[in-house]
Amino acid sequence: MTPFELIAMHVPTTVIQRRFLEPSAAYLAEQTHGNGPPGLLLISVEHTREYAVTELEQLEGLLDRSAFTVLVAPGIETSSSTRSLKRPTRCDDATRTEWNVIALGPHYSGALVTRDRGDQGDPGARRLDYAITHDRELVLLAARAFLQSAIRN
């Protein structure tokens, strides 16, 4: 199961345009280093998303501030270090239609999980099914599913 599928079994989903979720995603990602010791940050980006150079630089900054980060996104190079794993989205990834931001630390847990509805056009206007949770047990389940998918593929 994917993070979206797991969370959606417990938290009602709704539909929203991607641009309205971007501030919430940024807030969640910042929590991996804003509440005490740095935590785990897991991000997957739907295969239709293309990043501008400034967005990639912002993601790189998050990698540096988290205890460990996994980033699965289209168009990035595969690399790993003691504090991060990055790899491109593949066509057989279970999460290829999902945008997930999962933050897990000693004092904070949160997950924003989405699934792209397949709209065409402006990426910010694309509609997504989404759910947000701070329930630590659900966030742990989503993190586990994310990591299993990222490592397996």
- Name residues whose C-beta falls within 8 Å of residue 17's C-beta, 6 or more positions apart in sequence: 124, 125, 126, 127, 128
Confidence of residue 133 (pLDDT cuts 50, 70, 90): very high
Cα atoms found within 13 Å of the Cα of residue 36, Cβ hemisphere only: 6
What amino acid occupies position 22? E
Which strands form 14-17's sheet, in the order they lie side by side?
Answer: 14-17, 127-133, 109-116, 98-104, 40-44, 68-73, 84-88, 79-80
Reported as a single tens digit per residue, the pLDDT across 20-64 is 998 999 899 888 887 778 899 999 987 666 666 676 677 777 777
Q: What is the mean pLDDT of residues 134-143?
A: 97
Helices (H), the chain: 3-8, 18-34, 53-65, 136-152
Reported as a single tens digit per residue, the pLDDT across 77-126 is 888 888 888 888 887 878 888 999 999 998 899 999 999 998 887 777 88
Query: How many of the other CB atoms lie within 10 Å of CB of 110?
Result: 23
Predicted confidence at residue 2, as pLDDT, reads 94
Predicted confidence at residue 124, as pLDDT, reads 74
pTM (two decimals)? 0.90
Predicted confidence at residue 96, as pLDDT, reads 85
Residue 135 scores a pLDDT above 90: yes
Predicted confidence at residue 56, as pLDDT, reads 67
